[in-house]
A and B are shown apart, each in its own frame.
Chain A
Amino acid sequence: MKLSLNVRKNFGTFSLATDFTVDGNRVGIFGPSGSGKSTLVSMVAGLVTPDDGEIVLDGEILFSSRSGINQRPDRRRIAMVFQNHGLFEHLNVNNNLRYGLKRCAVEHRRIDLEKLVEVLHIGHLLDRGVNNLSGGEKQRVAIGRAVLSNPRLLLMDEPLSALDDALRFQIIGYLNAVSSEFGIPYLFISHSLLEMRLMADEVVSVEQGRITSRGTADEVARSRLGSSPVGYINLLKLGRPIQAAGLYHYPWGKSGLLLSVDSGREETLVELSSKDIMLFKRHPEAISARNLLACTVRSLFGSGRKVGVELECGGETLIAEIVCDAAIELSIEPGTVVYAAIKASAFRMLPS
């Protein structure tokens, strides 16, 4: 999917002006509330008309103020998943799912309803009214309905922000399953950096109606290491743990990690803040932290008043943060061997 968005729109005191092209199938639009990201995607969908500019999707002009082109939203083949599901209350789940499918030209139909129902686990809900669904079920049906309209682009406007943490990760799992199964390109809009890292390959950051940066989700996270109160969040994929002296040993890299909690799962995603990693120049013979990893410094990067240290630990990567003075004292440079100490309780397990 290649999308060019060169548009301007004024709303009283707020103005939105962007000029960028994205080329990829998993694109994130990232920014705080009120930054203009929802307006941006509404323009792509055709629900908001720009004051002037041009929107081009895969070579086809959707909007052009100069040529007087403004394709109607129902002709763009761009589906949208809204923050609050937007299911039709007068239709049951089955008819909600089929709404877009029925209106899709036969030559564009390639997604099988039964297959999608299976991927989203909504088969048992088909005859229900939408008011008899839980929040997570509603959002799964809404995603299914949008995907079944066989769009060439799927817009997701904060689809997880109305859900609690456990449901968010459950839906992320479903979204990734749908994305890999059916391969529909999408624009994922969120104010959550974590969601960006789990859902998007390329991220466009928006602030106050302007594009402020472009890059991978990881690059955005690294650039915010110095300004974010939680530092950089390392996302570690861990295997099934075994009990070891009151703690749990998870396979990770060459040596593994000791955590204080049991996931009970075959695979677990855990968060570890760059602030929770302490670096030693030499091996400290005895410390209270239960994880002491020998690492090689791969690179250093500045972010605000902090220095981010990219470490290579037994084939895996960790980002730690230190202040400038510490970097000088430790005389850290790429290739230096350091020891990273992490408490067993510093890890936060993400719901599956």
Chain B
Amino acid sequence: MFLTSTDLQAIWLTVRLAAIVTVILVLVGTPIAWWLARTGSRLKGAISAVVALPLVLPPSVLGFYLLLAMGPNGPVGQFTTALGIGTLPFTFWGLVLASVIYSLPFMVQPLQNAFESIGPQPLEVAATLGASPLDAFFTVAVPLARPGFLTASILTFAHTVGEFGVVLMIGGNIPGVTRVAAVQIYDHVEAMEYSNAHGMAAVLLIFSFLVLLVLYVWKPNSRNIVRRG
């Protein structure tokens, strides 16, 4: 086996992180995407820009500000300290919070596109058939946007797996707590353990390729998700 036990530990940590971040982002990103898809508010442009910031910002910049915010003098840090959790930097949950912010556009943008492509009519139809806005959202908008949810979740998961800069700034390099796969590769290279680095790099390469292959080859559409009976 070309992977060491610390490699496997890093992979497991990465998968756990990506899964938790994806779940949180489905819950947080869906209302944001829904609002952006439906609003006529003047704030739409500003909110869209904020959501897209992680796409263009250097991870070190994002990581730096997050570190300040989560530190003992930052607003998040003071809040978490008041709650009795302590500060978040260099903890797993600090990493989760940073990743949620870093991967936000990968969840929100595909979902927003999916909601926009549904258009207003199905929801108007649902309303005239007696469905409340929330009812129509769950029984019409969400099922029709299912391909968008799949794309967004896959992209978010994959992007979180590939994180490096923000993780290094917020989480550091604590085995089993914050040392994710990308950081582990960096460590191997620093220590001149090229064969180990190869093993981990190959795992990430194959994973990333498979994710993109799934996205491009298998285009989910609403026709094959018709519910019978």
Which A residues are within 8 Å of any B CB, using their own CB? 45-47, 72-75, 77-80, 82, 84, 86, 88-92, 94-95, 99-100, 103-104, 127, 129-131, 145-146, 149, 155
Contact = CB atoms under 8 A, between A and B. Distances in A.
List 9 A-B pairs, minimum CB-CB distance, nearest first. Answer: A100-B129, A103-B130, A129-B226, A73-B127, A90-B143, A86-B125, A80-B128, A74-B127, A89-B222
Contact of B223 (A46, A89, A145, A146): A89
Given A45-B127, A88-B144, 16 more contacts: A45-B128, A72-B127, A73-B124, A74-B129, A74-B133, A79-B128, A79-B129, A80-B124, A80-B128, A86-B121, A89-B223, A90-B225, A92-B226, A92-B227, A145-B129, A146-B128
Given A90-B144, A103-B135, A74 B130 contact: yes
Contacts of A91: 143, 226-227
15 contacts: A46-B127, A47-B127, A73-B124, A73-B128, A74-B128, A74-B133, A82-B125, A86-B122, A88-B125, A89-B222, A90-B225, A91-B227, A100-B129, A127-B229, A131-B226
Given A90-B227, A103-B131, A80 B144 contact: no
B42 interface: no
Given A127-B228, A127-B229, A88 B128 contact: no
Interface of B: 121-122, 124-133, 135-136, 139-140, 143-144, 146, 222-223, 225-229
B122, B127, B133 interface centre (most CB from chain A within 10 Å)? B127
Contacts of B223: 89, 129, 131
A82 B121 CA distance: 9
A77 B174 CA distance: 61
A interface SS class: mixed
Nearest to A145: B129
A88 B130 CA distance: 15
Contacts of B139: 99
A104 B143 CA distance: 22
Contacts of A80: 124-125, 128
Contact of A99 (B124, B129, B132, B144): B129
Given A86-B122, A88-B140, A103 B129 contact: yes
Contacts of A72: 127, 132-133
A46, A74, A82, A130 interface centre (most CB from chain B within 10 Å)? A74
A136 to B, nearest CB: 19
B200 to A, nearest CB: 41
A281 to B, nearest CB: 57
Contacts of B227: 90-92, 95
A47 B129 contact: no
B222 A104 contact: no
Contact of A47 (B124, B130, B140, B143): B124
Nearest to B144: A90
A77 B130 contact: yes
A90 B128 contact: no
A78 B131 contact: no
Contacts of A104: 130
Nearest to B121: A86
Contact of A74 (B122, B131, B144, B222): B131
A90 B226 contact: yes
